[in-house]
Structure 1
Amino acid sequence: MKLVSWNVQWGRDAQGRVDLGRTIETAKRLADFDILCMQEITRGFGVLPGGPGPDQFDEIARALPGFTVLCAIGADLPPLDGSRHRRQFGNAIATRLRVSQVIRHSLPWPADAASPSMQRVALEAVVETKRGALRIIVTHLEFYSLKQRLAQTDELRRMQLEAADHAAHPAPAENAAGPFAATSRPVSAIVCGDFNSEFGSEAYRAFVSPLPGAPSFIDAWTTLHPGATPPPTAGVYDTAQWSSGPITCDFVFVTEDLRGRLRSCDIDGTTQASDHQPIVLELD
């Protein structure tokens, strides 16, 4: 199973040109992926630099026939200039695997008067693989506020404990057709995205600290490259937005029970199709 995680900045490359279709083609060249997890996908946000199209979730679906495309909106704001489209900003998962369950988590947003911020979300999809069900979670944590990032990190860890509890104590469905479906969720998970937390930072360390009663998270890249420091994932080519220099803030974490299934995890350092670099994970 191959997964690509990428903050695609609504298809805007390091030179400021927007072409989400080109971005998806770049991802295809990186890997024959089963799952593509993207951050910074928009709908009705044509005012953003480069002028993204009116519905990028629809663009993804048209570019990836045969894939299920899921969305989770964080910022959801009223239209501007008479447009009928709300301005929406969030995350997407595109997968050719069967999706048995989708959960959209609104992440904590504690007040921080010193920092601009937006509502953040985590999009969870339970996919069926040949080795059993697996939770795929894509997220994008707050950029400006450490207080909010730490709260969001804590919530992602709480979600793992909740999933473990559901796995241990599943409830049956009320019936075959209604919304009260079976509550079982797999404890094994991949959590990926732009954490806006540098490698080794307080939020990073908190996320990978042990979890009582559930498999904890490990960094897939560092697990497969022991003793090495991951290369930068943001600001490598877009030096205008990242004038203070490149950082490593994009990660793919897996639950520790998946350690033995890790085959490869690579950060592509060559593409300039976004201000972030994509990560490619392969599991046995």
Structure 2
Amino acid sequence: MKLVTWNTQWCRGLDGIVNPERIVEGARAMADFDVLCLQEIAQGFDDMPGHPGDQPMQLQGLLPGFAVFFGAAVDEIDAHGKRQRFGNLIATRLPVARIQHHALPWPADPDQPSMPRMCTSVTVIDPDLGAIRVMTTHLEYYSSTQRMAQAVALRELHAQACAQTLAPPRREEGDAGPFQAKLHTEQAVICGDFNMAPTDPAYAEMVEGFEPIAGTRRHLQDAWRVAHGDAPHAPTFRLFDRRYGPDPVACDFVFLSEALAPRLRRIEVDGNTQVSDHQPVAIELA
């Protein structure tokens, strides 16, 4: 399975032009992806720089043969009655079993600007690897308090899914309604823009071990570390635009469940593209 994750800055390049087609082309240049995870996708925010349109619809048109799932962290009606949505998107050409949208914690932090955050989760069926839960997210940039709470919640979502796999609910025979048996899997990819460096305490929370049920021990692994050990992460932010800091930094990560980590064959960062203010990350599992 090939996956690309990218914070698109609502598909706005450093030239100020909003163009979803460039995002799709840039992702395809990295990999013939089966799954595409995008953050900062806009719908209805016509007054934002570059005047983005209905980007979920545009991306669906650019990805024939893919199912597209948009999860809005911000979903509101403006003063003129227009709906505005902003969030994450997963597109995949693999069979899909489950779709979930999780609101992440947003504790009060009056000293910092902030916005709601969420995680979209799509369970796909890879012909070789089986069921994989792909989760994509975009954590808070300004508030370290909120970012930490969100990292803890992401790990807890994964822990719950692992617990459901190890100890599934009792089946109700003959049930064709919402209580019918669900597909659960411990195999997971959690990716996106985490707005934290590898030295951030929230990063340590992501890879902290946990027990989904008593007597078991699990932990998420950073795909870069799996492939490159202690070598510094390739930067994914502030390579070309230094408005948010003087030095490039890695803040876009792919975390793998223990079952998937040995399946990692490649992880790559495109350090050249400027069609977003972030750099895309590609992985291959086999």
For this structure pair, what is the TM-score category when the shorter chain's length is used for normalisation?
over 0.9
Q: 2:226 aligns with which of 204, 223, 226?
A: 223
Map of 2:95 onto structure 1: 98
Map of 1:250 onto structure 2: 252
User: After superposition, where does 1:80-99 map in structure 2 within 5 Å?
Assistant: 80=79, 82=80, 84-99=81-96
Is the 2:98–2:183 Cα contact (8 Å) retained in structure 1?
no
Q: Distance in 2 between matches of 1:214 and 1:125?
A: 24
Shift of 1:77: 2.3
Percent of paired sites with the same residue: 43
Q: TM-score, normalised by structure 1?
A: 0.94
Return 86-95 or 182-191, whichever deviates more: 182-191
User: After superposition, where does 1:178-189 map in structure 2 within 5 Å?
Assistant: 178-189=177-188
What is the RMSD of the two structures over their aligned residues, measured on CA atoms?
1.5
Shift of 1:243: 4.3
Shift of 1:85: 3.2
User: What letter corresponds to residue 57 of structure 2 in structure 1?
Assistant: D
Q: Distance in 2 between matches of 1:176 and 1:29?
A: 45
Q: Distance in 2 between matches of 1:283 and 1:215?
A: 20
1:149 aligns with 2:144: no
Map of 2:125 onto structure 1: 128
Shift of 1:242: 2.7
Shift of 1:237: 1.4
Residues 210-265 of structure 1: CA deviation (Å, up to 9, x unaligned): 122353111101210112001211111123x3343322110001012212101000
SS at 1:192 equivalent: strand
1:36 aligns with 2:36: yes
Map of 1:278 onto structure 2: 280
Shift of 1:176: 6.1
Are the structure 2 counterparts of residues 141 and 166 from structure 1 closer, same or farther at C-alpha, using a change threshold of 3 Å?
same
Are the structure 2 counterparts of residues 44 and 256 from structure 1 closer, same or farther at C-alpha, using a change threshold of 3 Å?
same
User: After superposition, where does 1:1-284 map in structure 2 within 5 Å?
Assistant: 1-53=1-53, 55-80=54-79, 82=80, 84-130=81-127, 131-171=129-169, 172=171, 175=174, 177-212=176-211, 213-239=216-242, 241-284=243-286
Residues 27-80 of structure 1: CA deviation (Å, up to 9, x unaligned): 111110000000000110111111111x11111110001101001110122225
Is the 1:5–1:193 Cα contact (8 Å) retained in structure 2?
yes
Q: For structure 1, which runs of at least 5 residues remain unmatched after alignment?
A: none
Shift of 1:175: 4.8
Q: TM-score, normalised by structure 2?
A: 0.94
Is the 2:97–2:183 Cα contact (8 Å) retained in structure 1?
no
Q: Distance in 2 between matches of 1:260 and 1:134?
A: 14
Shift of 1:177: 4.2
Aligned pair count reads 280
